[in-house]
A and B are shown apart, each in its own frame.
Chain A
Amino acid sequence: AQSVAQPEDQVNVAEGNPLTVKCTYSVSGNPYLFWYVQYPNRGLQFLLKYITGDNLVKGSYGFEAEFNKSQTSFHLKKPSALVSDSALYFCAVSFTGNQFYFGTGTSLTVIP
């Protein structure tokens, strides 16, 4: 069975500090990996994806993610957090681009 784990329900970080939101996955094969962000009462917005190539992927709004095949992880990072980054973040895996398996989400709060 495919599974995606986001071990932290809540992450708090001070504005200006680096942030990390963790994601590990347990799937067979070589999935595509995604990060999405959800603001209150909104749909999910795509941040970045990894398919193949460089293990460090850059995405929207200054976010990046590091793929680690041996640890089956795909952690989301940002060098300097903004208050406006406060939102719910979801990690997802897909094999076909049609069926996405999501983690349970991590609520990020950036403290001014």
Chain B
Amino acid sequence: SQQGEEDPQALSIQEGENATMNCSYKTSINNLQWYRQNSGRGLVHLILIRSNEREKHSGRLRVTLDTSKKSSSLLITASRAADTASYFCATDGAGNTGKLIFGQGTTLQVKP
């Protein structure tokens, strides 16, 4: 079964607004990653946050991690139409197997 659950399942905003997506997971992790998938394309890695980190930034992206609540959030600031995509969180479990378990994903639509 999939470890990660994301909400909302779908999000529609206007260009320039911020988008927040949340991810919850069930077991201990070494790290959590966020990926983007444009329609008909492969996944693109956005950011990796380790279990001992609480917040990480990359350009317009801000990721937080709360291991006590087993949850993470992805914030995209000043969204653009090009940010329209599906976003997935992925956890690795605690066994260092390299196996990623993906959440169900959030579909983001940014209207121009």
* A is bound by B: no
- Which residues of B are interface residues toward A (Cβ below 8 A)? none
